[in-house]
Amino acid sequence: MIAIENFSQPTAAANDNYIAMTLISTSPSGHVPVMLSEVLDYMNIRDGGIYVDATFGHGGYARAMLEMADCMVYAVDRDPLAERRAMQITAEFEGRLRFIRGNFGDLESLLHSVGVDHVDGICFDLGVASSQLDDSERGFSFRHDGPLNMRMDGGRPNAADVVNAMDAEQLADIISHFGDEKFASRVARAIVEARKESPINTTARLAEIIRRVVPRSRDGIDPATRTFQALRIYVNDEMGELERGLIQGERLLSPGGRLVLVSYHSLEDRMVKEFMKTRSGKTPNASRHMPEVTPLHKPSFSLVTRKSIAPSSEEVSSNPRASSAKLRAAERSAAPVWPNFAPNKRTVLNS
Ligand SMILES: C[S@@+](CC[C@H](N)C(=O)[O-])C[C@H]1O[C@@H](n2cnc3c(N)ncnc32)[C@H](O)[C@@H]1O
């Protein structure tokens, strides 16, 4: 059962990341870390510091942090293949890298499980790695046929469970809200019709069903792009994870510690922006005719980036995956954690 509340639509640009990732996913060169030098800069990496790479992936950020200073890095990823890659890097850095497999939505308990209560910086590089898109067995891409999975941790319910079980209205909600697909109802009806013949279990079959009902746009983007993005965000509960990850970052950071996020679509960036602005006391007054309201809580962060930072044009031309990246950073104050985070525009997923 899903409930989608007060959801605002992502802009058309929201799909850029998926498109760019899909393009680069055809490259054999593997994952190229996005905005690496900016992330290192904003994390303020120092000797003796304790840092968290909440989305280890191929370890691009973690490795660079370890090379930059004599620091300790705790790395998290939900993907079992990331764990394997981490084992190789761990050996190189003689005890300075510790990998913990799990969801960054559980960051606090994951770190507590290895005896860590406070850290000096946490970075998140959201979304999927290009290697996840590349691997047809993971079922993320409509360009390669494979089992319709899309779960970063390989678990269930996966994308096939969703498309074979949900009713047309629920499917249309997901496809519209997470994919900004204007033909969402058509796609949902086509899925429900097609699965009467036989369950939809492969990426190629789903892509073909979508392509039959969504016209090809002039920019040449595959009609399946938006629906695939929507399913991926949904099955991995990416927005719920982000919300929990932000809250836990606030709990874990020591005063002066940095929170740095790289996001790739407007839903993610909006949540990050709202969290950082609210927590830094930048919530606008409800009305300019009303007297200023003293915030209920002391700011637990100060903004390091007033606006989002974009990658350089050189980076975008050498790595299309970077094209929609936005970086935001904030610094933890000594104020107590806030009781909760209620984004104005949020998606609540009850699976
Ligand atoms: C864009 S890649 C990170 C790449 C990394 N910065 C690098 O340089 O190699 C995102 C990674 O985050 C992981 N991930 C996404 N959501 C996650 C979550 N909620 N919890 C833990 N890992 C997550 C994915 O499995 C993927 O490996």
Closest residue to atom 7 of ligand 1, CA basis:
60
Is 4-129+239-332's fold the same as 136-235's?
no
Does ligand 1 come within 6 angstroms of the Cβ of 124? no
Which pLDDT tens digit goes with each residue over 234-278?
A: 999 999 999 999 999 999 999 999 999 999 999 999 999 999 999
- At residue 220, the pLDDT reads 85
Which stretch of 79-93, 171-185, 335-349 has the lowest confidence by average pLDDT?
Answer: 335-349
Pocket test for ligand 1, best of 51, 122, 152, 321 (most atoms within 8 A of CB): 152
Correct CATH for 4-129+239-332 of 3.40.50.300, 3.40.1190.20, 3.10.20.740, 3.40.50.150: 3.40.50.150
pLDDT band of residue 293 (cuts 50, 70, 90) is low
> What is the mean pLDDT of the segment spanning 287-311?
85
The C-alpha R_g of the chain, in whole angstroms, comes to 20
Q: Over 50: is that where the pLDDT of 14 sits? A: no
Residues contacting 84, CB < 8 A, separation 6+? none
Which pLDDT tens digit goes with each residue over 306-323?
A: 999 999 999 999 998 899
Closest residue to atom 4 of ligand 1, CA basis:
57
CATH 3.30.390.30 fits 136-235, yes or no: no
CB half-sphere exposure, 142, CA atoms < 13 A: 21
- At residue 285, the pLDDT reads 58
- In the chain, where are the structural domains located? 4-129+239-332, 136-235
Closest CA to 262 of 11, 47, 17, 23: 17
CB 90, CB 98: distance < 8 Å: yes
- At residue 203, the pLDDT reads 97
State the angle between helix axes of 203-213 and 184-197 in degrees (0 to 180), rounded to the nearest 10: 130
